[in-house]
Copies of this chain bind each other. A is one copy, B any other.
Amino acid sequence: MHLLAIGGSDAGIAAALRARELDDTVEVTVMLADEFPNFSVCGIPYLVSGEVADWRDLAHRRREEIEALGIDVATATTALAIDVAAHRVRSTGPDGAERSTPYDRLVVATGATPVLPPIIGLDRLGAADGVHALHTMGDTFEVLATLSERRPERVVVVGAGYVGLEMAEALTRRGLAVCLVEAQPQVLSTLDPEIAEVVAATLVEHGVEVRTATTVREIERDGDELVVRARDHGARTPTDVEMRAGLVLVVTGVAPDTALARAAGAAVGARGAIRVDRRMATGLPDVYAAGDCVVTHHALLGEGYLPLGTTAHKQGRVAGENALGGDRRFAGSLGTQVVRVFESVAARTGIRDHEARDAGLDPRTIGVSADDHKAYYPGATRVEVRLTGDDATGRLLGAQLVGTVASAVHKRVDTAAAALFSGLAVDELSDLDLAYTPPLGSPWDVLQVAAQRWRAEASAPPVAR
């Protein structure tokens, strides 16, 4: 039995590790196009900031550790085609030669690639000009090379999603002047404006120039500088703005990398991602897929595209188990996400008001603000919570939080995620027996304060067990 995983990031490695864990006789190979198996790409901002000194530390496991488990790691090997009938994958290896690798079970974990917005000049400019995408370790080394060789003083970051904000922080920490440009009217458009604006304020406090409602239209090279031309459509009368920078970083999201699977006949779904069932099977015989290249089962919404490392780990693990004859099901994503930006932390789980409405539900969303711990104990900070519940059934639908690192927002959201996973009602949040000590909490946790506020406003009948 030979399990082959195409892709050396979270999903591919998770599949390989799970297979090895379950059966030490199975042959396991991970094939990847670059030289960086099992790297934590979520850690790239902290390498760029200098908080992580050595890029090798970004590996979840070193190559030797993976190989010591008896997993074959084929780096610099690009998969070209899957022959489903013959159970073979054609690839080019480090020597440039083509080869054909047989498999019994295949896990496609080809991940995602950056989506570049329609900016004039972007097709002509690249790393050599100081214009960068940021998705792989290779991209990272190019950014680091630009930073050390061209020594830019100003950076324009295009895109104020999670990565854009983390990179704005990272480059500020390195001493650069950062302008963060976002076409949407707010940063972090996956969060409600009330939550996102707290993070935006933190960016501004740390000297980041935040330009929302501003669409970049053109990037041009002018000697050693880059000229970024954009349209600010935030005011009633749009205006044209021009920014100059030594480095432009374009981080405006990703799309699933599915060419290989589609060519082999795999069906695709949301956002063009590979369609899989909850066993992570593609429908092609003996071919599983997992991670950023697949459609993800969302516990509340059904099929969607949610490229996240945590999900990739879980799906890879399921794929690896099922490839060996197991019968695990991916339990479903809740889109749980957290971002730390300087001392601020924002997080969400579940769905927001408009997402629930789009899904035909009858949501009600409330916002509260409460201290992370008893105000009499020094150091209390405010946590803002927005809670969404189904006003027909009382079921909890989602939670968004923002606060400081010290307020443990990043773990408070997990309580809501566990409640959502279990299908709890908003009222039941109030019934949870949560931990309390004055320096670290309150007798009613902020989620419970939010639940009580929701109940006071809701039409749904009370729910209790």
Binding site for B on A (CB under 8 A): 10, 40, 42-43, 46, 51-52, 57-58, 60, 299, 308-311, 313-314, 328-329, 331-340, 345, 347, 349, 374-378, 405, 408, 410-415, 417-419, 421-424, 428, 430-441, 443-445, 462, 464-465
Contacts and interface: CB of A to CB of B under 8 A. Distances in A.
A55 to B, nearest CB: 10
A65 to B, nearest CB: 13
25 contacts: A46-B376, A51-B378, A57-B376, A309-B436, A310-B435, A311-B433, A328-B464, A331-B433, A333-B433, A336-B435, A338-B437, A339-B437, A345-B440, A405-B439, A405-B440, A408-B408, A411-B411, A411-B412, A411-B435, A411-B441, A414-B415, A414-B434, A414-B445, A418-B424, A421-B424
Contacts of A52: 376-377
Most B-side CB within 10 Å, residue of A311, A333, A417: A417
A423 B336 CA distance: 21
A340 B374 CA distance: 14
Contacts of A444: 313
B43 A374 contact: yes
Nearest to A21: B456
In the complex, the count of this chain's copies comes to 2
B435 A58 contact: no
A338 B42 contact: no
B433 A428 contact: no
A263 to B, nearest CB: 30
B437 A40 contact: no
A331 B279 CA distance: 35
A415 B411 contact: yes
B377 A43 contact: yes
A433 B421 contact: yes
A320 B72 CA distance: 65
A43 B415 CA distance: 25
